[in-house]
Amino acid sequence: MSLNPQSQLLRNPLILALDVDSDNEALKIVQELNDIVGGFKIGPRLCLRYGQDLIKKISQLAPVFLDNKHFDIPSTMLAAVQASFDAGATLVTVHALSGFEALSQVAALEKELNKIRPFKVLCVSILTSWDQKSLPTNLKEISILEHVLQLSQMVKTAGLSGLVCSPHELEHLNVKDFYAVTPGIRLLTDNHQDQKRTLSPREAIKKGASALVVGRPILESADRRQAAQDILNTLK
């Protein structure tokens, strides 16, 4: 199966979300699966406890996707993206709703940082835990798809190509314009839990995803290595 050409930023398209509370547990998982998965996602759950030290340790072993969804004034977002890069992250999220001015400045910084090493800013569109019914009241006037299309166009115009969206929106985007990262990935036998807009790994890649974020289907498996390998096998 052919992949989006921008997907070479990682070792392979599978990103494992380290949704755990202990740095020792996170490092143990990284050491266990480092030779299988493409990279590891770290969010506030670990960052607020262990900070840059943990990011640096993991980034020495594998690509790190730092997912704190920065949404602030431009200067604060720039500082946060720079700090993420300095800590060793390969991917970092900002929120597309932060607007064109902030995204344009982030794009300029991304360009400069790529002169040092490969680095991608991902713009979060609409959370995969939302469906049309659970959208905030002020966002309900238009559909989730229309939100994603409008935000993705602003991201592109601002000079960025990284986008986070559910796999359901991929087929409506010109995915060749984006490094598209999709959460909400579930196997057919999985419980969707708090994810609303989900697809299987193979379906998401087929629709143009560059990378897939998977957490509990691997973390909660009795055999994590086999669970990760099973997902990659579906992409062949």
Give the amino acid at 153: Q
Helices 74-87, 44-59: axis angle to 10 degrees equals: 40
Determine the Cα–Cα distance for residues 144 and 189; give it in Å rounded to an integer: 26
For 145-207, strand residue ranges (E) read 162-164, 179-182
- Is residue 57 annotated as a catalytic residue, yes or no? no
CB 179 within 8 A of CB 120: yes
- Which of 69, 120, 196, 207 is flagged as catalytic? 69
Q: Tokens at residue 96, please?
A: 């597309």
What radius of gyration, in Å, describes the C-alpha atoms of the chain? Answer: 17
Active site positions, annotated: 69
